[in-house]
Amino acid sequence: MKTRLNSFALAGMLLATGTITPGLANAGVRVCTFPGSPSTALDEAVTREAFRTAGIALSLAPGGFGGSDDDGVSLKELNKALARKCDVIAGFPRSSVADGSGSKLTFSRGYLHSGYVSVTTRESSTPSSGEEIVAATYASPAQLIAVQQPNVRLDLENTAALTVDALASGHAQRAIVWYPAVVAYTITHPQQHFQITSTVSPYADWHLVFAFGKNGAALQPRIDAALEKLASNGRLAALTRNWALPEAAQASRSPAAEFAYRDGPGRSDTMWRMMLAGSRGSQQGRFIKVDASAAGDAPGFDRTQVAHGKTLYSSACAKCHGPALQGLNAPALRGPAFAPVANAKLTIGGVYGYMTNNMPADRPGKMKPQDYADIMAFLLYSNGYSAGATKLTDDNAKASKTPLNAGTSQ
């Protein structure tokens, strides 16, 4: 999610002393949920129980957000909501890899382990051609996970509910979707049954938490203590039982460090030596497996390209990947999560080929070749590579077999 919260200084000061005045108790701490979130019913139930256990008065403000677009809640919208209508966000999804919430937020402990799952129906079957139609939600981790799987054709939907419906209606054979959306769909369509399995990706694993503003440090310990008490007496498990990931969807979870930028089940180095760098084999909807053990020099680029690439990135990429490449509803594009300093599984050519065929998400492959090269120059520079006098071209970027490593000048 894309986030930044404002303060509630008076409440924070009073909570720090362990007391709440009658006036504040009457008004209550204002708790908002995300608009259209499929887990709203759960978030509100956990909120009531946690705040009651903590002895804190609250008022639920489901309309705290004035509006949102298909890409979720923007930083600006969230900041405005917390400045005017909300003190706390319930049902805030957190990921150690994929969210871009930043350091200005204070979070509670998680009250639900959830994430993105692979969903089929009993009637689902893969076409004889081997290509599978997979539904995913546009501009979300679901899209990122789905696009990196082989032999798929994507059906991108604007909401998680529509993504589930695409599967239920038979338009897609499979869906990669936020699991609470599956729960919410089956509540309103009890006749519908789904089969749930895990998606082995660092971008699949999330927790729902409470998010507080910059003065939330006083409130957070009390909510954490309440959640711990609810966990120990079984009340939290009772509240979340119907929303918890099925056992089959928790299998094969792997640490994010094992995957870095790639998705999919872990493979031996031998199996990963399937070189498909550049445009060769980098088909739409496929992820490129490359041999990053081959030696080679990084292609050159100049500072003019870096400047132009930064401008292009800001307009075409930052909405999903973050203005500082830190990741928002798509992964970070700098640092070891993107380009590990050792044991890299991607070459520069492999990343470039993937980018030119699949990005930006709203118009994949539609930019000019030199614009893609300039964005690649900006990404290289942002990951520690030094600019020089040679211009990076589309052909040079495609052909590069050099491992992409962050943190050192090449």
Residues 386 and 266 grouped into a single domain: yes
Residue 347 has pLDDT above 90, yes or no: no
Are 233 and 318 in the same domain? no
> Angle formed by the axes of helices 369-382 and 348-358, to 10°?
130
- Classify residue 6 by its DSSP letter: -
User: 193 with 58, same domain?
Assistant: no
Q: How would you classify the pairing of strands 88-94 and 174-178?
A: unpaired
Please, what is the average pLDDT of the chain?
A: 75
Residue 1, in any domain of the structure: no
Q: Are residues 187 and 224 in the same domain?
A: no
pTM (two decimals): 0.61
- Same domain, yes or no, for 102 and 16? yes
Task: Give the separation between CA 313 and CA 106, rounded to whole angstroms.
Answer: 29
81 & 103 share domain: yes
Q: Using pLDDT thresholds of 50, 70 and 90, give the confidence band for residue 262.
A: very low
Residue 404 within any structural domain of the chain: no
Domain that holds residue 45: 9-109+208-245
Q: Note if the bond before 190 is cis, omega within 30 degrees.
A: no
DSSP codes joined into one string, 302-335? BHHHHHHHHHHHHHHTHHHH-TTSS-SSS--SSS
Do 231 and 313 reside in the same domain of the chain?
A: no
Instruction: Assign residue 391 the CATH number of its domain.
Output: 1.10.760.10
Whether 300 and 314 map to the same domain: the answer is yes
Q: Which two tokens stand for residue 276?
A: 């498909």
pLDDT at 111: 97
Kindly report the CATH number assigned to the domain that includes residue 149: 3.40.190.10
Residues 330 and 237 in one domain: no
DSSP code, position 290 = -
- Answer yes or no: is 409 within a domain: no
Average pLDDT over residues 52-70: 73
User: Is 199 a domain residue?
Assistant: yes
Same domain flag for 40 and 119: no
**26 and 170 housed in the same domain:** no
Whether residue 33 sits in one domain with residue 57: yes
pLDDT of residue 127: 60
Whether pLDDT at 178 is above 80: yes
Domain total for the chain?
Answer: 3
Last residue of a domain, one of 186, 221, 245: 245
Q: How confident is the model at residue 404 (pLDDT cuts 50, 70, 90)?
A: confident
At 135-145, the pLDDT tens digits run 998 767 887 78
Quick check: is 44 in a domain?
A: yes
Cα distances (Å, whole numbers) of residue 65 to 37, 193, 228, 322: 12, 33, 29, 21
Whether residue 140 is contained in a domain is answered as yes
Going by C-alpha positions, the residue among 32, 97, 42 that lies closest to residue 330 is 97
Structure tokens at 206: 């999330």
Residue 90 lies in a domain: yes
- Per-residue model confidence as pLDDT tens digits over 114-142: 999 999 998 766 665 667 899 998 767 88
pLDDT digits over 2-23, tens only? 332 222 222 222 222 233 333 3
Is residue 161 in a domain? yes
Q: Which of 245, 274, 308 is the last residue of a domain?
A: 245
Query: What is the predicted pLDDT for the residue at 24?
Result: 38
